[in-house]
Structure formats: C-alpha cells, structure tokens
A = this chain, B = another copy of it.
C-alpha cells in the first residue's frame, strides 16, 4: 500500500504559522491590518482609493496589492496617496502568508497606522489562507447578483465585515437586497455591513468611520 503524503495539511499549517508571525510583527509595530477580499471587479481598489483619500491626515496607510499580473492596483493606491507594494502571484489564485511577509518587509511599518491588503480577485481560494491580518472584509457588489452568499459560503462565513458596493447600480441591475442579506445572516450572523457606492460617494462615511474606529481601538491595546 503506498504511503499517503499529507501535503495539503503541511502547507496549511506552515501558512498558519507564518500568518501568526506576520500578526506579531504588526502588533509590535502597532500597525492594524485588514485583508480585503472580493470577486474580480467588485471594487476593492476603488474602495481602497476612497479609504486612502477619506482618511488622509487621520491615518497613515500602507497598501499591499495582490494580483495575478500587472501593477495597476498598486499604481492606483499610490496615486491616491498610499505607500503601495504590488505582489504578482504569477498564476496563484490567492495571497498567502509568505507573500505578505515579504511585502511587509518592504513597508516602513514605523511610519504607518494601517496596512490594507488587497487579495487576488476570487470568491473561493483566499478564504483558505490566513495572512496574519487583524480583520478581514468582503467587498460584494450589486451587479454580481444577490445569490453570492449562498454560492460562495466559505468566503462570507469567515469575514468581519461585508461591504455592498455599487449601490448606484440598484435601479439598473436585478438585486433582491433582502434575499442577499438573508444569506449573509445565515452564514455570518450579526456581521457588520455597509451599503455604499465608491462612484457616487453614498454611504462611504459609515465605512470610513468604522475603519478609523477599528484602528483606534486596536492602538489602545495592540495584540490583546
């Protein structure tokens, strides 16, 4: 009988260990980090741009942008005023703790309050790889449709907040908000939710206040 080689298990626990190292490093530097996940085109980069602009002068923000290819997103974050590091994963469909460790080394953590990590656009794989952030956020969007929590439960289950972006498209795209929210409620009861539009600015103030509050709360007692 051939020996079974537990490859996946080994990789995952190595990733978890490294994720914990990233978290300790962030705590020591008193830098709060979030992992921002979404399907392609939900508006992660737009939300990050608005966050960097909206919190300018109040929080010092660094960015880590994960993509299969290009540095478009880091370019955009940089243009909005953040220090941005681009990770090109080659073909990989998610970021992992090793990639983030390497990117953190390229940021001057002593000059930052918040690091926003933009994961690869994917509603499946990123859920399985911890990065070592304090919180994780899922960005959904109206034109994606209202059935996504039901079809991608792993992603909706594990996050600390759900942002529903592109609400300016509600008049033009079929979307049952009640059905969508019912799906979220089953998977992640009571999770913090924001309805907003990066394009029109509607609802952004609530998100910005939450983000700033999260960082302030963390700063009082890092690593608690």
What residues make up the interface of A, taking CB atoms closer than 8 Å to B? 5, 7, 39-41, 67-70, 72, 91-93, 120-125, 128, 141, 143-145, 147-148, 150-154, 166, 168-169, 172-174, 199
Whose C-beta in chain B lies nearest to the C-beta of A174?
Answer: B199
Q: Complex: how many Å from CA A148 to CA B69?
A: 10
Q: Choose from B40, B120, B128, B148 the contact partner of A144 (Cβ within 8 Å).
A: B40
Identical subunits present: 2
Whose C-beta in chain B lies nearest to the C-beta of A154?
Answer: B91
- List, in ascending order, chain B residues with CB within 8 A of A124's CB: 68, 91-93, 120, 122, 125
- List, in ascending order, chain B residues with CB within 8 A of A91's CB: 124, 128, 154
Contact B143 A68 (CB under 8 A): no
Q: Complex: how many Å from CA A172 to CA B144?
A: 15
Given A67-B151, A93-B125, A121-B151; A41-B172 close (CB under 8 Å): no
